[in-house]
């Protein structure tokens, strides 16, 4: 799609230099350039406030004591009580909050890790082998992408209750492993980034198919794998309907469900509001750290889903 | 793994042309099986089976032998579906999320597209910072985002109390759009990044050619960039449509901030409320209708954009 449009014959002169250097061409008035530049920056900065101000408010609120939360400006720091607040949060109700965080890490971390391996294997098989029924399998998986996960929550509950397994760790963990979109991404990425010649060469070297996948293909597919992992992690971490419908036992809750139940008790137990706010703040820190530290992977992998 | 008529065409198998024996061998059949089995089993157990079970449950009705007899589930045909179509609460919840989607999805994707184009243009400095700043809300789960905005909207606790005491964001007329803002806040950055990384993959020579022809940044954006990122926008639109029909966490959280959100505010909340009655069979029928509607809408949208692209 690009080849016909490029103009290699003409010498590309200094690009991006504002007006002055290109006297032979219709000069763009520097004034106009400055205007569009400032307009663009204003849009960017205003959006930045929109996206970050609520998070800043959450941070500021979680550093305040209960009295100052209601009485001081929400965007300005007052006495810095963050660590004291966190200590109280972790101690409240025998440390149930820490338990919830741990549960979330387990549901999302282990779930996304296993889920990624499973999706990657399936996507790789669909990309790199020819077998009867391949397109059928792929189309069924694609159909799975379009099935809303929440529509499955109720029937999953009914099935788990048939075998008496609701209100267990597994009732939330196992369904979270399935990620059809991960298979789709892995297939696209494997077709594009794992050359057939390489697989042929490793076959000649006597490496088994499965070993080749876990050694060579895995390395080549790393950006896609990190992307799949991160987005499945987020999906499980954010999942609300399935735990809401499956779990009764508070000690099995993920942190989102735990904070939800606290927040719905605020009217009966007013002091719990502080814990809701600090708990909300603490709960988003792991995800922000994960995204920041892995950004060089997912930023390159994210676009691959839309490439046909 | 049946369908024996299709001959596996393995292009890599060079040399002597494959003998036409009736016994066709799929190359590396065992490896394919090993790769596909784990996903296949889980997909069958936790995707296909629930779908089938929901359909089965939705075809049953509970009958009692007399007033005090034990409840018995019997086949009821489409009785539950008729009940779904007569259920006013369910349909008003569908109408609500449709209104939500018609407004919120275009606004969100429009903002995401504009921000992505600005990030991709030479007009903006500090791109790396902005890109991350816009993406931060995506790390906030819907439940947490709703709790946070719930406080920001509340008339007395909000730091914007000058505004929230004038406009009641949590009133019955307004609360749907307050929820729309929460969803938009969370997902703009995510959608922007998908569009942006698609913009990055456009080869730079295209712009060089356009610049030499005297095209302005705006013209480049409108004539070159947007048409080339249509697939990315389509993808984000489909996910947004699916997400809209599934709306649950945000309105459910808002119930503790305001009484304007009913227990059947969105279709998924209606499913949850109905199953808690308990009327499992009706709730299953609702789930099936909802899944089919979602599937149909995203599929129709996909076909629609594909046909437009071909024209």
pLDDT in tens, A248-259: 999 999 999 999
Tell me the pLDDT of chain B averaged across its residues: 86
Average pLDDT over residues B89-102: 94
Whether B199 has a pLDDT exceeding 80, the answer reads yes
Note whether A302 contacts B194, CB cutoff 8 Å: yes
ipTM above 0.95, yes or no: no
Q: How many domains does chain A have?
A: 2
CATH number of the structural domain B88-266+295-310: 1.10.3720.10
Domain membership of residue A125 (yes or no) is: yes
> Is the pLDDT higher at B247 or at A24?
B247
Whether A20 has a pLDDT exceeding 70, the answer reads no
Domain membership of residue A24 (yes or no) is: no
Last residue of a domain, one of A45, A80, A115: A80
Facing A48 at nearest CB: one of B42, B133, B271: B133
Q: Which tokens belong to A84?
A: 């004291």
Domain check: are A131 and A61 in the same one?
no
Domain membership of residue A215 (yes or no) is: yes
Which of A120-134, B11-25, B292-306 has the highest mean predicted lDDT (pLDDT)? A120-134
Q: What is the pLDDT of residue A61?
A: 92
Domain boundaries, chain B: 88-266+295-310
Average pLDDT over residues B109-138: 92
Domain check: are A115 and A207 in the same one?
yes
Domain check: are A116 and A248 in the same one?
yes
Whether B250 has a pLDDT exceeding 90, the answer reads yes
> In chain A, which among 76-115 make CB contacts under 8 A with chain B?
none
Q: What is the pLDDT of residue B118?
A: 94
- Residues 6+ positions from B307 with CB-CB distance below 8 Å: none
Note whether B136 contacts A245, CB cutoff 8 Å: no
Q: What is the pLDDT of residue B17?
A: 46
Express each pLDDT in B50-90 by its tens digit: 999 999 999 999 887 777 778 888 898 899 999 999 999 99
Domain check: are A95 and A169 in the same one?
yes
Rounded Cα distance between B138 and A223, Å, is 19
Band of residue B263 on the pLDDT scale cut at 50, 70, 90: very high
Q: What is the pLDDT of residue A150?
A: 83
Among chain A residues, the shortest Cα distance to B57 is held by A155
CATH of residue A230 = 1.10.3720.10
Q: What is the pLDDT of residue B303?
A: 86
Q: What is the pLDDT of residue B11?
A: 43
Rg (CA), chain B: 26
Facing A132 at nearest CB: one of B6, B12, B255: B6
Note whether B152 contacts A57, CB cutoff 8 Å: yes
Q: What is the per-residue DSSP string for chain B?
A: ---TTSPP--TT--SSPPP--S----TTHHHHHHHHHHHHHHHIIIIIHHHHHHHHHHTEEEEESTTTSPEEEEE-TTHHHHHHHH-HHHHHHHHHHHHHHHHHHHHHHHHHHHHHHHHHSTT-S-HHHHHHHHHGGGGS-HHHHHHHHHHHHSTTT-TTHHHHTTS-TTSTTTHHHHHHHHHHHHHHHHHHHHHHHHHHTS-HHHHHHHHHTT--HHHIIIIIIHHHTHHHHHHHHHHHHHHHHT--HHHHHHTTT-TTS-TTSSHHHHHHHHHHTT-HHHHHHHHHHHHHHHHHHHHHHHHHHHHHHH-
Domain check: are A204 and A255 in the same one?
yes
Domain membership of residue A3 (yes or no) is: no
Express each pLDDT in A121-159 by its tens digit: 999 999 999 999 999 999 999 889 888 888 899 999 999
Express each pLDDT in A88-108 by its tens digit: 999 999 999 999 999 999 999
Domain membership of residue A2 (yes or no) is: no
Q: What is the pLDDT of residue A77?
A: 87
> Is the pLDDT higher at A33 or at B227?
B227
Whether B4 has a pLDDT exceeding 50, the answer reads no
pLDDT-wise least confident of A165-179, B158-172, B186-200, B237-251: B158-172
Q: What is the pLDDT of residue A300?
A: 62
pLDDT-wise least confident of A278-282, A292-296, B25-29, B273-277: A292-296
Domain check: are A207 and A247 in the same one?
yes
Query: Are B243 and B235 within 8 A, CB to CB?
Result: no
| Residue A12 at interface with chain B, using a CB cutoff of 8 Å | yes
Residues of chain B found within 8 Å of residue A143, distances taken between Cβ atoms: 295
Among chain B residues, the shortest Cα distance to A59 is held by B148
Note whether A196 contacts B4, CB cutoff 8 Å: no
Whether A22 has a pLDDT exceeding 50, the answer reads no
Domain check: are A168 and A45 in the same one?
no
Domain check: are A208 and A115 in the same one?
yes
Average pLDDT over residues A27-46: 83
Q: What is the pLDDT of residue A76?
A: 85
Average pLDDT over residues A204-216: 91
Note whether B29 contacts A12, CB cutoff 8 Å: no
Whether A21 has a pLDDT exceeding 80, the answer reads no
Domain check: are A76 and A106 in the same one?
no
Domain check: are A124 and A35 in the same one?
no
Q: What is the pLDDT of residue B163?
A: 81
Average pLDDT over residues B20-24: 53
| Residue A293 at interface with chain B, using a CB cutoff of 8 Å | no
Domain check: are A55 and A160 in the same one?
no
Q: What is the pLDDT of residue B76?
A: 87
- Domain with A144, as residue range(s), is 89-306
Q: What is the pLDDT of residue A18?
A: 42
Whether A262 has a pLDDT exceeding 80, the answer reads yes
| Residue A25 at interface with chain B, using a CB cutoff of 8 Å | yes
DSSP state of A307: -
Domain check: are A161 and A273 in the same one?
yes
């Amino acid at each position: 799609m690009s080849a016909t449009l490029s103009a290699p014959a003409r010498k590309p002169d200094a690009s991006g230099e504002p007006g002055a250097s290109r006297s032979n061409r219709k000069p763009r008035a520097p004034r106009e350039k400055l205007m569009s530049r400032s307009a663009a920056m204003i849009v960017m900065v205003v959006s930045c406030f929109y996206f970050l101000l609520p998070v800043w408010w959450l941070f500021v609120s979680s550093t305040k004591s209960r009295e100052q939360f209601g009485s001081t400006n929400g965007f300005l720091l007052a006495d810095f009580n963050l660590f004291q607040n966190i200590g109280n949060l972790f101690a409240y109700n025998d440390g149930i909050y820490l338990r919830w965080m741990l549960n979330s890490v387990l549901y999302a971390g282990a779930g996304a890790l296993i889920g990624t391996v499973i999706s990657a294997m399936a996507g790789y098989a669909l990309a790199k082998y020819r077998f009867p029924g391949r397109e059928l399998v792929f189309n069924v998986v694609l159909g799975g992408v379009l099935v809303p996960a929440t529509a499955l929550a109720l029937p999953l509950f009914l099935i788990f209750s048939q075998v008496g397994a609701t209100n267990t760790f597994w009732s939330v963990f196992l369904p979270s492993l399935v990620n059809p979109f991960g298979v789709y991404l892995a297939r696209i990425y494997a077709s594009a980034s794992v050359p057939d010649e390489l697989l042929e060469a490793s076959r000649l070297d006597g490496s088994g198919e499965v070993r080749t996948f876990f050694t060579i293909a895995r390395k080549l597919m790393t950006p896609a794998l990190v992307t799949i992992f991160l987005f499945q992690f987020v999906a499980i971490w954010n999942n609300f309907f399935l735990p809401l419908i499956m779990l009764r036992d508070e000690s099995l809750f993920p942190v989102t469900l735990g904070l939800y139940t606290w927040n719905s008790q605020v009217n009966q137990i007013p002091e719990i509001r502080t814990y809701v706010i600090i708990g909300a703040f603490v709960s988003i820190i792991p995800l922000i750290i994960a995204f920041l530290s892995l950004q060089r992977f997912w930023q390159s992998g994210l676009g691959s889903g839309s490439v046909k | 793994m049946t369908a024996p008529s299709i001959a596996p065409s393995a292009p890599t198998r060079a040399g002597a042309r494959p003998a036409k024996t009736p016994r066709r061998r799929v190359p590396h059949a065992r490896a394919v099986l090993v790769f596909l089995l784990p996903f296949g089993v889980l997909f069958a157990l936790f995707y296909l089976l629930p779908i089938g079970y929901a359909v089965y449950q939705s075809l049953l009705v509970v009958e009692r032998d007399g007033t005090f007899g034990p409840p018995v589930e019997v086949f009821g045909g489409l009785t539950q579906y008729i009940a779904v179509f007569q259920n006013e609460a369910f349909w008003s919840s569908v109408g609500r999320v449709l209104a939500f989607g018609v407004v919120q999805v275009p606004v969100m994707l429009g903002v995401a597209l504009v921000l992505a184009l600005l990030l991709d243009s030479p007009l903006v400095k500090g791109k790396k910072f902005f890109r991350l700043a816009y993406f931060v809300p995506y790390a906030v789960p819907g439940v947490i985002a709703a709790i946070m905005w719930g406080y920001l909207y509340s008339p007395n606790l909000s730091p914007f109390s000058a505004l929230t005491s004038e406009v009641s964001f949590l009133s019955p007329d307004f609360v749907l759009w307050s929820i729309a803002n929460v969803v938009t806040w969370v997902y703009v950055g995510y959608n922007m990044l998908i569009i942006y990384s698609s913009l990055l993959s456009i080869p730079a020579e295209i712009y060089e050619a356009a610049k030499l022809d005297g095209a302005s940044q705006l013209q480049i954006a409108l004539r070159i960039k947007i048409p080339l990122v249509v697939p990315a926008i389509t993808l984000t639109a489909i996910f947004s449509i699916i997400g809209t029909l599934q709306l649950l966490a945000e309105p459910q959280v808002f119930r503790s901030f305001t009484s304007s959100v009913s227990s059947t505010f969105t279709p998924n909340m209606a499913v949850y409320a109905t199953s808690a009655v308990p009327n499992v069979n009706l709730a299953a029928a609702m789930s099936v209708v909802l899944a089919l509607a979602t599937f149909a809408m995203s599929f129709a949208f996909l076909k629609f954009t594909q046909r437009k692209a071909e024209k």
